[in-house]
Amino acid sequence: MKIRKILLKLFVFFAFFICIIFSFLYTYIKLSPKLDLKKTNNVILYDKNDKAFFKGNGSKEWISLNLIDKDLINATISTEDKRFYSHNGFDYIRIIKSIYSNIKYKNIVEGASTISQQYARNLYLNFDRNWSRKIKEALLALKLEINYSKDEILEGYLNTINYGNGVMGIQNAAKYYFNKGAESLSLAEATMLAGIPGYPQEYSPINNEIKAKKRQRIILNNMVKNNYISKKEADEAYNVKLTYYGKKDSLNLSTLMYYKDAVMDELKDLKIIPDDYLDNNGLKIYTNLDLEAQTNLENAINNSIGNINDIETSSIMVENENGKIIALAGGKNYEKSQYNRALYSKRQVGSTMKPFLYYAALENGFTASSTFLSEPTTFSLGNDQTYTPSNFGNIYPSYPIPLTIALAYSDNIFAIKTHLFLGESAMINIANKAGIKTKLEENVSLPLGTTELNMMEFVNAYSTFANEGIKNDLYLIRKVENENGEIVYKKKKNSKKVFNKNYTYILSELLNGCYDDTLTDYTSPTCISIKPKLTKKYAIKTGTTDNDSWIMGYNKDYTLGVWVGYDNNKPIGRNEYKYSKNIWADTIENYLREKEDSWYEKPKDVIPVLINPLNGKIATNSSKRRKIVYYLKGTQPTTYDGDSMDVLDEKKEE
């Protein structure tokens, strides 16, 4: 009896406490400025040609609720929030039910978001999955419920919800799928559209009609249960053969939303507008987006990994001269995953770290002809510690190879020997100068890419090499105007020379060897598989770990980085390492197809020498391989290729 009294008192206390909190929130929200639902987050993003590619808060195709087909409204309420007109923004019955179901099945099998909560989510321009955003979302849902009628909330929701394929709002959806207005939909058409927002990419009938029809049946059954239609009407609607129009005026690119999210992140970092500015004000944001580059990138992703399980990707393409980000993908499908891997993910980069090592080597007296013995090696690190790296496939020549070959083949033994010879801080110093912000620890395995890096900083660092040693800060936004056209921000160029132009030229020429089939000998250059796709001259480096596949490459004008892997660090299959290379090659080749080849003018202090690239010596008429390689004046080789090649051949035969 005593315990029951204590529990009753606790219940009364908590109930009273909740009432106080709710009363405070209600008063605060009631006294706060009322949101203008048609103006909230009214952001327009423009590409590099000043053409709008995104309009926040849906589009200008806003349609009043009393004009929207009643079947569409009833289908939406039946499926998304059947107690919409009776709750205060939060369906507590549904919340309890979903918690029970999720615990029962030990997985998230049911959600509890109301239409008000979903609409609040739509009013944000990003989908960060953190508690701060969820709290703001809940407060905004409550604000909507207090300040607006249910019909006003439902109207706003239907005008901003995602109907798949980049189509926002019911009026746009009706026109896109059926070439008619939202007031003229049939029951069959209305129930097909009502099912899409639950999983836009999967339930769009243009993407997957089989799943869309199954979803339509669920929608129709819900309408029958809620007494909106009869069973006969549901069956008749389900059996209607629908024809889909599938056209819209704006560009249909899923990856555009990753670019958009990156723009909004940069806007936030710039701190040029107050946090609540977009509640009742508009902005015009002028970006560096190149729709041709973005389209080529998305097409390359779709062609390589679009329908392959849950493997993911991230990619960034920039203009070297100024640091403009012209294309960006944070994943392969925004509707399935809004997580922007290009901005937030850090992964092991593998051998794509080696160019920073070899630039440091060039600065410290190494040349393309510098040699180290490449064979199975155990390195003694002191304090009874050892390190035993291996080459890919355990392939070793077991004789000295020059830097030209070591870089083309991505020889790990050569890299570790160079790293230890220079000292572990030399490579870190170069990486930091280039633009890598992640703290790099001095360790023996650093050249093999054991450190996790982010795509943005990595592309920035490579573009420094590509820009002949001049570092730019990468950026997406070039200008911001308020809704009255007044400039509130304009990007200022921020360039800094950090590397020697002679050495960046030599390094770029060496990286061109990564797909040079004339260098094939005891093994092949790492990018030889994509050589048939390449019609221009590039500097390229790949990097692989058990879980990651990278490729970074550039010419004088552009740098492109691509990563492929699994979010859960699942090992990459043997045949999956090719995906990143194919995405890179297809993207850059299609983008540059109509453009002239762009490479660097040779610096006056650099000279070309015809050498045998297999040993780094000056080539003769009897040399088995001959290649023009570049050296700083005074560092070129002085010994000629000759009988030594026979010795090497004998060594290989052994």
pLDDT at 515: 96
Exposed e or buried b for every residue in 204-237, given b needs 16+ CB within 10 A? bbeeeeebbeebbebbbbbbbeeebbeeeebeeb
Q: Transcribe 60-81 into DSSP letters.
A: S----GGGS-HHHHHHHHHHH-
Confidence of residue 273 (pLDDT cuts 50, 70, 90): confident
Report the pLDDT averaged over residues 587-616.
Answer: 96
Beta 346-348 vs 452-454: how paired, if at all?
A: antiparallel
Is the sign of the CA dihedral 414, 418, 420, 424 positive or negative?
negative
Residues 133/13, Cβ–Cβ less than 8 Å: no
Is residue 592 pLDDT above 60, yes or no? yes
Average pLDDT over the chain, rounded to an integer: 87
Cβ 313 vs Cβ 564: under 8 Å: yes
Can you give the pLDDT at residue 122? 73
Q: State yes or no: pLDDT of 353 exceeds 60.
A: yes
Nearest alpha carbon to residue 329 among 337, 340, 318, 338: 340
Q: How far is the C-alpha of 147 from the C-alpha of 447, rounded, in Å?
A: 59
| Residue 654 pLDDT greater than 90, yes or no | no
Q: Give mean pLDDT, residues 84-105.
A: 58
Q: Is 572 helix (H, G, I), strand (E, B) or coil?
A: coil
Helix/strand/coil percentages in the chain, nearest 5: 45, 15, 40
According to the model, what pLDDT value does residue 69 have? 93
Q: For 97-111, 191-205, 240-254, 323-337, which range has the lowest pLDDT when averaged over its residues? A: 97-111
Residue 410: left if φ>0, alpha if ψ -120 to 50, beta else—which one?
Answer: left
Share above pLDDT 70 across residues of the chain, in percent, rounded to a whole number:
84
CATH class of domain segment(s) 314-592: alpha beta
Residue 137 annotated to the active site:
no
Q: Is 80 an active-site residue?
A: yes
pTM of the model: 0.81
pLDDT of 107 reads: 47
Read off φ and ψ for residue 409, nearest 5 degrees.
Answer: -90, -10
**What is d(CA 100, CA 92) in angstroms, rounded to the nearest whole number?**
12
Lowest-confidence range among 6-20, 310-324, 453-467?
Answer: 6-20
Residue with the larger pLDDT of the pair 274 and 217: 217
In the predicted structure, residue 17 carries a pLDDT above the cut 70: no
Q: What pLDDT, on a 0 to 100 scale, did the predictor assign at position 105?
A: 45
pLDDT bucket at 643, cuts 50 / 70 / 90: very low
Q: What CATH fold (topology level) applies to the domain 62-238? A: Penicillin binding protein transpeptidase fold (1.10.3810)
Of 304, 314, 351, 580, catalytic: 351
Contact status, residue 564 vs residue 312, Cβ threshold 8 Å: yes
Residue 99 has pLDDT above 60, yes or no: no
pLDDT at 214 over 90: yes
